[in-house]
Amino acid sequence: DTTVKQNPRYKLARVGKPVNLICSQTMNHDTMYWYQKKPNQAPKLLLFYYDKILNREADTFEKFQSSRPNNSFCSLYIGSAGLEYSAMYLCASSRDRGQAEQFFGPGTRLTVL
């Protein structure tokens, strides 16, 4: 099974409320990524886990949290959603960092009202 699953597919959140998005893969990939995708923009890397080590991008360091309780699951957590968080959130996994193909989930569309 080479699919990456994301839940939920659509999420509606209120400003100031927390949001938790879930991603899973069963390919035993050591790296899992979270991207934010807005219309007419490139997917923006938010953070990635290489095994148990979390790497967060400098410009989104304080806005997003993540956890990876085991190799298969990875979450993306927003403590207090703002209107600017409305976007598609893409999860991906790869066998290695950078050099290997990334397998993407279908995305979670988050709308913050």
Partner 1 sequence: GEQVEQRPPHLSVREGDSAVIICTYTDPNSYYFFWYKQEPGAGLQLLMKVFSSTEINEGQGFTVLLNKKDKQLSLNLTAAHPGDSAVYFCAVSLTSGGNYKPTFGKGTSLVVHP
Cβ contacts of 44-49, under 8 Å, gap ≥ 24: 46/76, 47/76, 48/97, 49/74
Q: Cβ-count burial of 28 within 10 angstroms (0-12 exposed, 13-18 middle, 19+ buried)?
A: exposed
Beta carbon nearer to partner 1, 43 or 81: 43
Q: Tell me how far, at minimum, the Cβ of 19 lies from partner 1, in Å.
A: 20
Beta carbon nearer to partner 1, 75 or 88: 88
Q: Which residues bind partner 1 (CB under 8 A)?
A: 4, 35, 40-43, 45, 48, 90, 92, 96-99, 101-107
Q: Tell me how far, at minimum, the Cβ of 85 lies from partner 1, in Å.
A: 19
Beta carbon nearer to partner 1, 13 or 107: 107
